[in-house]
Amino acid sequence: MSSPHHAAVSLDDEEKAENIGSLNFNLFGLEEFEQPASVKHEPTGHVAIPHEGGKQAWLTVAGSSCAMFVSFGWANCIGLFQAEYESNELKDYSTGQVSWITSMSFFFLLFCSPLSGKLFDSYGPRVPILLGSFMHVFGLMMTSLSSKYYQIMLSQSVCSGIGCSLIFTPAMSAPYTYFHKKRAIAGGLTVAGSSLGGVIFPIMVQHLLADIGFPWTMRACAFMILGLLVISNLFIRSAMKHTPKPFHIMDYVRPMTELKFVLICIGSFFLYWGMFVPLDYIVTEAQHYGASTYLALSLVPILNGASFVGRTVPNYFADKVGRFNLMIGMSILSTVLVLGLWLPGRGHSAFICFAVFFGISSGACVGLGPVLIASVSPIKELGTRMGTVFAIASGASLSSAPIAAAIVADDGGSYRFAAVFSGVNFFLATICLCILRGCIAGWAVNANV
């Protein structure tokens, strides 16, 4: 009779053999294991491969969607704040100077992603999200007391921006630890929360500003954000076992030796460099070309409402027709919309059509981006690598709006060359994505990748 110890060793050997037999070195060269249906979550927290759904998995998706609502969804309102500050609180400052506040918000959201990703890999989602919840809410409360440029910069851009980053990256990463085959749709439902936030916050702010003023509007938003973050802190979990690891700069440098990872970093930079021009200036551009204030401000929730479709429906089909294929298609569509509609478009119909269709295409790019990052990253390094990509993209988010503002000012207030700048960057992002797809699956047009 075998001893219990020998039986355990034998069982471990059998499990290792099953795992080895199920290795799936697919075209990505990334997903190391095909998820067996029988894999269960062990009490010890050891999970060798992602689960394929389950109660806790979908609770995590729900909690992460709430976290995206209050982080990336809040940041999606930058076009509204650009117009608000130019008209009221900071009316003595130029468009370019005000744009630094909005661009710095996105910069810190993305730039601090390596830190939040490292915290996620080491401690799981709870620590960074709890810390980020405090900073985000505290920053907005301080914004409600601010009246000067530097005060708004420190509270909304720096404090709240860093808080959003600590929430954003773990919330984006956690659902991927539970899914393999349904990774794209799970990611799409997670990112869809940011679209809802981008719809609700602008409408909420637009109406509250007229009724209760700027200070109490910011407080009302902060209280709403606090309530949703309570849900996020309770629901978000990770299927992986997280162990504290010392900080090594090589954890961020080493992936740069991989061509596929470098390509996705470059592609993400150009993508965000192009995307933030319309997101920042869709309101002021419409006002410049004769749209009423009400219609111009309404373009932000219209765009973000359409992006809800872009961040969910394409992700469902991405699992069927290929994640990279669909991402390339959405990047091409964004290029065409910016150069073919936003550049020459004048009149209410053109503004609304661009907001709807660009919302869909850019929303799909945002929703599919993390899925592609997860596809070229080992699951145990997901937080760090996702943070690295977003940190590189933060340079685009920081510089995009000021560059566009300088282009507009140099062209006498016209937005035509700013639109060209945006469209060219979308085109360069498309080229990077096409090369990346070729490295993964070759150049066959019909490859499902």
DSSP string for 159-209: IHHHHHHHHHHHHHHGGGGT-STTHHHHHHHHHHHHHHHHHHHHHHHHHHH
Q: Is residue 394 part of a domain?
A: yes
Q: Has residue 386 been placed in a domain?
A: yes
Alpha-helix residue ranges (DSSP H) falling in 289-415:
293-310, 313-321, 323-337, 348-375, 382-410
37 domain residue, yes or no: no
pLDDT value for 418: 92
User: Considering the domain boundaries, does residue 436 fall inside one?
Assistant: yes
- Gap between the Cα atoms of 325 and 310, Å rounded: 15
Q: Is residue 18 part of a domain?
A: no
Q: Helix 293-310 crosses helix 78-87 at what angle (to 10 degrees)?
A: 160
Distance between CA atoms of 379 and 234, rounded to whole angstroms? 23
Query: Does this model's pTM top 0.85?
Result: no
Give domain status of residue 14, yes or no.
Answer: no
Neighbouring C-beta atoms of residue 24, cutoff 10 Å: 11
| Residue 108's CATH number | 1.20.1250.20
Number of separate domains in the chain = 1
Question: Is 298 within the bounds of a domain?
Answer: yes
Q: Are 219 and 53 in contact (CB under 8 A)?
A: no
| 151: Cβ contacts below 8 Å, ≥ 6 apart | 142, 143, 145
Whether 30 is covered by a domain: the verdict is no
Q: What is the pLDDT of residue 53?
A: 66
Sequential pLDDT tens for the chain (449 residues): 444 444 444 434 434 443 433 333 333 333 333 333 333 433 333 344 445 667 888 899 999 999 999 998 888 776 677 777 887 788 888 877 887 887 788 888 888 888 888 888 888 899 999 999 999 999 999 988 988 889 989 998 899 999 999 998 899 888 888 877 777 777 778 888 887 888 888 888 888 888 888 889 889 999 999 999 999 999 998 888 887 877 777 877 888 888 999 999 999 999 999 998 998 888 888 988 888 888 888 888 888 888 888 877 887 787 778 888 899 999 999 999 999 999 988 888 999 999 999 999 988 888 788 788 878 888 777 777 888 888 888 888 888 888 998 899 888 888 999 999 999 999 999 999 999 988 887 777 777 67
pLDDT at position 122: 86
Range of 239's domain?
55-441
pLDDT of residue 322: 83
